[in-house]
Amino acid sequence: MRMRDKVALVTGAGSGIGRATALRLAAEGARVACADVTAAAAAETVRAIEAAGGEALALTVDVTDERACAGMVERTLARWGRLTTLVNSAGVRPAARDAAPPPAEWQRVLDVNLSGTYLASRAAHAALAASGSGAITNLASIFGLVAGSISPSYAASKGGVVNLTRQMALNWAPAVRVNCVCPGVIETPMTAELRQDPAWREVILAKHPLGRFGRPEEVAAAILYLSSDEAAFVTGVALPVDGGYTAA
């Protein structure tokens, strides 16, 4: 098992990529703290892990709240005594693909996607460093690498995550490795409305050379690698998992 003896904390674990990641890490032997802003969603992920024979903890957390981030780390340490792995998967997309989003919407997206990634990482840093094999994997996006048919607030937040990843990788080496994945369009609840828009769907699908959208489990597989000791010499990487979208 690739995550045997690891203790992982996954934000946004209640659905989509976060849930798929929590399930995969648990299947590979990790004990997993499943944090989500929606208590019922976190609990559902925990039930799925436990039903498969794993060990998990449900946490209700708003990652924009500094105290809440500190609390989720404290509760994880209280349960298992250590923390080796953090996956920052909590995120939101704008309510609309607005070329000039209202300031409040701009701030909401940056608060969750970018500041939430920083606050969770900051809260977990000391425990990760103390573990001797600390690893953080952040969720960015193809729209953090290239521009496209998405709101400026989302692109700015994910571009920020990419460069925050690189900076933390430099600042926190060698004690903690920090990487990010940059998914293309993945079949999750967050993208459902966009994928159901016929005009948008056909345009964006054509930009994925593999001819389909991705699955959460495919992103989780990349996160598993970056979180595991197999990636012990990998830090500061922004890894596209995008069906070839950014290769064009």
Asked whether residue 232 is domain-assigned, the answer is yes
Confidence category of residue 158, pLDDT binned at 50, 70, 90: very high
Asked whether residue 241 is domain-assigned, the answer is no
Mean pLDDT of 47-70: 98
Domain containing 101: what range? 7-185+215-236
Asked whether residue 246 is domain-assigned, the answer is no
- Of the listed 118, 154, 225, 245, which one is catalytic? 154
Asked whether residue 91 is domain-assigned, the answer is yes
Nearest to 223 by CA among 17, 6, 46, 73: 17
Nearest-angstrom CA–CA distance, 34 and 90: 11
Evaluate if residue 191 carries a pLDDT over 90: no
Q: What DSSP state is assigned to residue 115?
A: I
Is 154 marked active-site?
yes
Using one digit for the tens of pLDDT, what is the confidence trace for 126-140?
Answer: 999 999 999 999 999
Using one digit for the tens of pLDDT, what is the confidence trace for 20-40?
Answer: 999 999 999 999 999 999 999
Task: Say which CATH number the domain at 163 has.
Answer: 3.40.50.720
pLDDT at position 101: 85
Asked whether residue 207 is domain-assigned, the answer is no
Q: How many domains does the chain have?
A: 1
Evaluate if residue 248 carries a pLDDT over 90: no
